[in-house]
A and B are shown apart, each in its own frame.
Chain A
Amino acid sequence: MNTWVYIDHFKGNVIPASWEAIGVGKTLGHVTALVFGSGVEALAKTAFEYGADEILLAEDVGLADFRAEAYATTLSKLATEQTPDLVLFPTTTRGRELAGMVAIDLKSGVMVDVITLDVTDGKITITRPIYAGKLLTKETCSAKPQIITLRGRAFPKPAQQVGRSGTLTKVSAVPGDFPTKVEGYTTSEGGVSLTDAGVIVSGGRGVSNNPALTPPAGMDDKQTELWRAQQGFALVKELASALGAAVGASRAAVDAGYVSYAHQVGQTGKVVSPDVYIALGISGAIQHLAGMRTSKVIVAINKDPEAPIFKLARYGVVGDLFQIVPALTAAFKKKMGK
């Protein structure tokens, strides 16, 4: 099978699921990696090291910023000329949008956020979560090329073989004169991105009610609650930083204004699947559980022994998170030599 892999990157920083996609393509046959942008030839070399046999490099100032329209037109033109069997994208904001547009151009369907992929007689059957992971569905696509976005961390990342090389072909970009212009970026709050994270530490409403704290005088109820939440989330962030983890939150914590929406895990936030998920003061509403249930090891600390989160947890502590979390942070720092 002739597989194309779109290498998703932001200013040259590659989303690791792109390398995972090369790994999937290699199990099916020949892999051509697509590297689009401006001044990104160095990425092409890394793509060879992760296993790409061939690279199509489209460089143009018109592709310097990701604009789905320009990227899709460039990709669709190449696919029309060279007819790959399968085009893989990482499931990212860019990957999703691009896959959707290319499917329209090439009159095919998209199988999105795929977690398993099987091939029988050249026909692909995938599995993907629906209803935020409450269910799984199998899917097939009757048109060519088959277009798939792969969920990050669902497939193994191939080993990097330093010095490995292949055939690089420069192709022309088709940026077009589409009336869309990227004016700039506001950077995120920093830290580890939830979707790529191997470890996530999440806080819920429970982090705002430390009985041992006395808020500064003169605050109204809402200010007091937010002040308490800030103190609580400071503990969440300290544990996360000791573990090199991303910070997550329940919808209740986001809706109450404790942290920004970018941190929300669950059905109307991000669906995550880290190796370790530590839930602090999260009782485990069904929408939250749907968003993190495939985490490998789930750890919950909650004062309520009946909290539903314990039904998914491998390890649980029923107790006061405000005492246990700082002690846990200290224990990890000591044990992990930090």
Chain B
Amino acid sequence: MRIVVCIKQVPDSTAKVVVEQGKISWGDAPLIMNPWDEYALEAALQQKEALGGTVTAVSIGDESTKEVLKRALAMGADDAILINDPALTTMDTQATAQVLAAAIQQIGAVDMAFFGRQAIDGDAGLVPAQTARLLGWPSLTLVSVIKIEGSNVRVERGIEEGRQVVVAKLPAVFSMNKDFGEPRYPSFMGIRKAARAEIPTWSLTEVGISAPASFITWPEIMNPPSREVTCEFISGGSPGEIAESLANKILAEKVL
């Protein structure tokens, strides 16, 4: 199996993110591997362990993005590619999907491409399906269970109403959900290997496409309106008394 995992670098999920002078700031919070992508990498590594093959981690970003690719190597990926090109600054999801689809084709003979369900910064959750569409591959999003059966794959994927069981032909694109299972930690040997690894950088020429146009623009990014609430603390002589006055307060809001 030739397996690709697409990874994004994002500010830590515990970061206090604010807009200062029109720019997004996350203070001194570290940049990390998008938490959903850790599930994608775990799923990829499990397929490799079961079926043999290689796992290649791919990310779009600047030099600093090599850090998350090194983490992918430390967790068990065989190699990594950084796509870094001055033409790739602000990209919408379809532009990102075009670059990733081209990279997957350039890597060649890929059987499975894994993504996290969404990135915790942009929260769009569109790139996996859009990449699948560009490649003409089945789009298996929000996956919690994977079984390879010859050249077919059977997955369980989350929908609002429960789980859908889908059978598709490989090659396919997968976006992974949290209930797939906890991602592993980097191993000691993995960390040593990653520290020595030279990660190749591809420009768009090496990816094999010209700079894709973005259609979405972001005229303004804002802090959300602050919630003007003061908490009214309810107290009373007994749990019953507290419950009684709390229920009255909630019912008086006329939203139930």
Q: Which residues of A contact B (CB under 8 A)?
A: 10, 13, 15, 65-66, 68-69, 72, 92-94, 96-97, 99-101, 103-105, 107-113, 125, 129-143, 178-188, 193, 195, 198-199, 243, 260-262, 264, 267-269, 275-276, 285-287, 293-294, 296-300, 310-320, 323-324, 326-328, 330-332, 335-336
Give complex CA distance A330, B241 in Å. 12
B180-230 residues with Cβ-Cβ distance < 8 A to A are 214-224, 227, 229
- Scoring A113, A184, A299, A315 by chain B CB atoms within 10 A of each residue's CB, the highest score goes to A315
Contacts of A143 in B (CB 8 A): 215
16 A-B pairs with C-beta separation under 8 A? A69-B133, A93-B141, A100-B129, A104-B97, A109-B214, A136-B222, A136-B224, A139-B219, A180-B169, A181-B167, A181-B168, A185-B161, A268-B36, A287-B13, A299-B250, A318-B233
The verdict on B35 contacting chain A, using a C-beta distance below 8 Å, is yes
Give complex CA distance A181, B153 in Å. 11
The verdict on A332 contacting B217 (CB below 8 Å), with A105-B133, A182-B166, A317-B234 known, is no
Out of A287, A296, A336, name the residue touching B255 (CB < 8 Å).
Answer: A296
Closest to A199 in B: B256
The verdict on A100 contacting B93 (CB below 8 Å), with A125-B219, A130-B122 known, is yes
Contact between B165 and A184, CB atoms less than 8 A apart: yes
Contact between B165 and A317, CB atoms less than 8 A apart: no
Contacts of B139 in A (CB 8 A): 68-69, 97, 101
Contact between B227 and A312, CB atoms less than 8 A apart: yes
B148-173 residues with Cβ-Cβ distance < 8 A to A are 154, 156, 158-169
| Count: A-B pairs, CB below 8 Å | 263
Contact between A317 and B217, CB atoms less than 8 A apart: no
The verdict on B107 contacting chain A, using a C-beta distance below 8 Å, is no
B98-117 near A? 1/0 per residue, CB < 8 Å: 00000000000000000000
Give complex CA distance A297, B158 in Å. 29
Contacts of A131 in B (CB 8 A): 11, 17, 120-121, 123
8 smallest A-B Cβ distances: which pairs?
A109-B215, A327-B243, A188-B162, A179-B169, A323-B239, A275-B255, A100-B126, A331-B247
Out of A72, A136, A267, name the residue touching B120 (CB < 8 Å).
Answer: A267
Contact between A180 and B166, CB atoms less than 8 A apart: yes
The verdict on A96 contacting B243 (CB below 8 Å), with A108-B215, A261-B177, A314-B232 known, is no
The verdict on A186 contacting B165 (CB below 8 Å), with A101-B129, A109-B92, A136-B222 known, is yes
Contacts of B253 in A (CB 8 A): 276, 296-297, 314
How many residues of B are counted as interface, with CB atoms below 8 angstroms from the partner's CB atoms?
80
Contact between A317 and B216, CB atoms less than 8 A apart: no
Contacts of A299 in B (CB 8 A): 246, 250
Contacts of B72 in A (CB 8 A): none
Contacts of A113 in B (CB 8 A): 123-124
- Scoring A100, A188, A199, A330 by chain B CB atoms within 10 A of each residue's CB, the highest score goes to A100
Contact between A93 and B158, CB atoms less than 8 A apart: yes
Contacts of B141 in A (CB 8 A): 68, 93, 97
B11-56 residues with Cβ-Cβ distance < 8 A to A are 11, 13-14, 16-19, 24, 35-36
Contacts of B221 in A (CB 8 A): 130, 135-138
Give complex CA distance A297, B252 in Å. 11
Contact between A110 and B239, CB atoms less than 8 A apart: no
Give complex CA distance A100, B94 in Å. 8
Contact between B256 and A314, CB atoms less than 8 A apart: no
Contacts of B223 in A (CB 8 A): 135-136
Give complex CA distance A178, B249 in Å. 55
The verdict on B130 contacting chain A, using a C-beta distance below 8 Å, is yes
Out of B129, B138, B177, B232, name the residue touching A180 (CB < 8 Å).
Answer: B138
- A110-B216, A180-B166, A328-B246 given. 7 additional CB < 8 A pairs? A112-B124, A132-B120, A135-B223, A137-B218, A319-B239, A327-B242, A335-B248
Contacts of B242 in A (CB 8 A): 317, 319, 324, 327
Contact between B256 and A129, CB atoms less than 8 A apart: no
State the Cβ distance, A305 to closest chain B Cβ, in Å. 8
The verdict on B125 contacting chain A, using a C-beta distance below 8 Å, is yes
Contact between A93 and B159, CB atoms less than 8 A apart: yes
State the Cβ distance, B10 to closest chain A Cβ, in Å. 9
Contacts of A320 in B (CB 8 A): 239
Contact between B229 and A312, CB atoms less than 8 A apart: yes
